[in-house]
């Protein structure tokens, strides 16, 4: 099976908004930022001595972790948008071909094969089929690349079937 898609900057924004809340590292980063905020609060105000001070320090730390994470997400999205172009193969036309070997991608800048056993995850999320190659490397296929929802679902089902077959544990 093969599909030709045109990846736009809005697809990258949507991908980040779909993927980042699902990443464990997002929450680990938020926890680290909250702990850092707590350390700063303790350094500036002293270690909390009363229940009210503890609540204030914990709420402030949590707020610091959340705000820091949101700033990080915005920075990440802006960086991705600034570095993405048709010339480097991130935006523009992508031809994806499914085979028994893996997912073959072809752009103006590159061509490659991601073997099914090396793909971390394949899933449908909203209007996208997402192939997670590694922690932060993804291929996306928007539903709009197909003439119908049925075509999109057939491509997704074939992708997931190939991926599951490659990741099945041998019996015994």
Cα separation of 63 and 59, whole Å? 6
Q: Cα 85 vs. chain centroid, distance in angstroms?
A: 18
Task: Give 129's contacts (C-beta < 8 A, 6+ positions apart).
Answer: 122, 123, 140, 141, 143, 152, 155, 156, 159
The reported pLDDT for the residue numbered 168 is: 85
Strands (E) in 50-91, as ranges, are: none
Out of 83, 99, 122, pick the residue that ends a domain.
83
- Is 150 found in the same domain as 126? yes
The reported pLDDT for the residue numbered 172 is: 57
Does any domain span residue 171? no
The reported pLDDT for the residue numbered 163 is: 96
Does any domain span residue 172? no
H helices of the chain, in order, are 9-19, 24-45, 51-83, 149-167
Out of 21, 52, 83, pick the residue that ends a domain.
83
CATH of the domain at 109: 2.30.29
Task: Provide the residue-wise pLDDT of the chain in tens; the chain has 172 residues.
Answer: 999 999 999 999 988 888 877 778 878 988 999 999 999 998 988 888 889 989 999 999 999 999 999 998 899 889 988 988 898 899 999 999 999 999 999 999 999 999 999 999 999 988 999 999 988 789 999 999 999 999 999 999 999 999 999 998 776 5
Out of 56, 83, 110, pick the residue that ends a domain.
83
**H or E stretch including 45?**
helix 24-45
Residue 131 token pair: 């192939």
Total domain count, the chain: 2
User: β-pairing, 2-7 with 102-106?
Assistant: unpaired
Stated pTM of the model: 0.79
- Coil, helix or strand at residue 50: coil
The reported pLDDT for the residue numbered 171 is: 65
Cα separation of 14 and 94, whole Å? 17
The reported pLDDT for the residue numbered 135 is: 80
Q: Provide the domain limits for residue 77.
A: 13-83
Task: Give 36's contacts (C-beta < 8 A, 6+ positions apart).
Answer: 64, 68
- Is 33 found in the same domain as 45? yes
The reported pLDDT for the residue numbered 37 is: 92
């Amino acid at each position: 099976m093969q599909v030709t898609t045109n990846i736009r900057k809005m697809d990258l924004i949507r991908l980040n908004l779909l993927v980042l809340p699902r990443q464990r590292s997002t929450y680990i980063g938020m926890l680290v930022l909250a702990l850092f905020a707590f350390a700063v609060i303790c350094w500036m105000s002293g270690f909390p001595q009363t229940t009210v001070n503890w609540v204030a320090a914990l709420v402030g730390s949590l707020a610091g972790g959340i705000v820091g994470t949101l700033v990080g997400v915005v920075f990440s999205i802006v960086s991705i948008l600034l570095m993405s172009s048709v010339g480097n193969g991130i935006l523009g036309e992508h031809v994806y071909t499914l085979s028994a070997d893996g997912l073959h991608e072809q752009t103006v800048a590159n061509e490659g094969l991601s073997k099914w056993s090396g793909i971390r995850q394949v899933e449908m999320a909203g209007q996208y089929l997402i192939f997670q190659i590694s922690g932060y490397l993804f291929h996306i296929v928007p539903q709009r690349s197909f003439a119908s929802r049925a075509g999109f679902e057939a491509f997704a089902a074939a992708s997931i079937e190939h991926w599951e077959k490659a990741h099945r544990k041998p019996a015994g």
